[in-house]
Amino acid sequence: MSDLYRSAMQARLAKLPQLPMESEEEEEDGDGLGALPSTMAPPRIVIRSSQRPRRPANPGFSAISAEGYFEQAIQVDVPASRLDVRVYYTAPKPHKGLGSVMVCHHGAGFSGLSFACFAKEVTELTGGECGILSLDARRHGKTLPTGDSADEDLSLDVLVRDLFNSLETIYPDPAAAPSFLLVGHSMGGAVVVRACPLLLERKYKVGGVSVLDVVEGTAIEALPHMPMILNSRPAGFDTVEEAIEWHLTANQIRNPTSARISVPSLVVPAPPNSSALRSKALVWRTPLHSTGPYWEGWFRGLSSAFLTARTARLLVLAGTDRLDKELMIGQMQGKFQMEVIAGVGHMLHEDDPSKLAETIVEFWRSNERVVIGVKKVGDL
């Protein structure tokens, strides 16, 4: 399979408690945010034992802190899902009413930190009026099962319920909650679209739903090629710097700043006595091969669910050749807004967070007035 074809196929898919700083003598797998102390140093994973010489660390690929991109990192106990959910959050500073929060859900294999640069841009563009909440899904990032529960099930219904349960835990009273604008990338797009009717049924205010670079038809078509694509990925890395470098040189992420923030959350220390991976100090937090049984379930029926969502709809793509027939018809009928961002890959929210923020903030502004019941000029 050529690099060009592989890239093309990859582009079609892919009061709360404060969290104390995490540090260990041998290794640190933190995301660099913690409770956001002002004196925190950039995160770094250090593995002292090694079976072969390692390349010197390249400062250009070193991990950097998410401080300044979100206000806080919190762990939210979500009993209904039996999860301890990692949430990255910047609270809204509303001028009127209860404000708005963009709720962001990442794609398979990534984490809530993939929205870090986007979050900062949104905060700056809105003057903090629109908050940002980005979470780690189960089996991703720093979200962990509680007690002796398992978190292996990544089926769509489970992921949707996790998102709903998390928001209900954080905002238990719909009447006192801010309005939500749901933003989901790839797998996350399928999750937020299905979560929308559940939130509306519970009387939460949803100002819109935005799906990033995923279309049912092209996603389903790409699934047979995914095992071959995934076989081209490294099984692990010696250092976090190496993981960041691979994501950038392989064009998985095209924005060095975003990669240096988000990639450290994608790897964990290799299990001890792992014969197959003992030569690598770090392995994937979420091996994508293991998610294969859920792929079709994520995307089947997505176009119909998107078109029938009872809120404003925005589809943002990294290319114009990705609409399936159902969405093409829906677009001609004016059922949703579509925007294309040039010069980006599948990780468009990391590649060009500024342009995406401009697009989604404009979408938010045009629909938020309707949600909160503010009349437009001329309607008085």
Give mean pLDDT, residues 318-346: 91
Domain positions in the chain? 3-16+68-226+299-372
> What's the rounded mean pLDDT across residues 220-247?
94
Q: Are 269 and 45 in contact (CB under 8 A)?
A: yes
- Type and span of the H or E element at 3: helix 3-12
In the CATH hierarchy, which fold is given to the domain comprising 3-16+68-226+299-372?
A: Rossmann fold (3.40.50)
- The CA distance from 83 to 162, in Å, is 8
**In the prediction, which pLDDT does 255 show?**
98
What is the predicted pLDDT for the residue at 10? 40
For residues 246 and 236, give the distance between their C-alpha atoms in angstroms, rounded to a whole number: 11
pLDDT tier, 98 (very low <50, low <70, confident <90, very high otherwise)? confident
Mean pLDDT of all residues in 246-262:
97
Cα first-last separation, the chain: 61
DSSP classification of residue 39: T
Whole-number pLDDT of residue 27 = 36
Confidence of residue 57 (pLDDT cuts 50, 70, 90): low
d(CA 139, CA 226): 20
Which residue numbers are catalytic? 186, 213, 346
- Average pLDDT of the residues of the chain: 85
Each residue of 189-198: b (16+ CB within 10 Å) or e?
Answer: bbbbbbbbbb
pLDDT of residue 279: 77
- pLDDT (tens digit, 9 = 90+) per residue, 280-315? 899 999 999 999 999 999 999 999 999 999 999 999
Whole-angstrom distance, CA of residue 248 vs CA of residue 259:
7
* pLDDT exceeds cutoff 50 at 18: no
Assign 58 a pLDDT band (cuts: 50, 70, 90): confident
Q: What does the pLDDT average to over 314-341?
A: 91
Lowest mean pLDDT among 68-77, 189-198, 225-234, 345-354: 225-234
Confidence of residue 273 (pLDDT cuts 50, 70, 90): low
Residue 192 has pLDDT above 90, yes or no: yes
The Cα–Cα gap between 162 and 141 comes to: 15
| 86 confidence band (pLDDT: 50, 70, 90) | very high
For residues 175-199, average pLDDT: 98
Residues 21-40: tens digit of each pLDDT: 333 333 344 454 444 333 33
DSSP-assigned states of every residue in 235-304: SEESSHHHHHHHHHHTTS---HHHHHHHGGGGEEEPPTT-TTTTT-SEEESS-GGGGGGGHHHHHTTHHH
The Cα–Cα gap between 86 and 74 comes to: 6
Output the six-digit token pair for 284: 């994937």
Percent of the chain with pLDDT over 70: 79
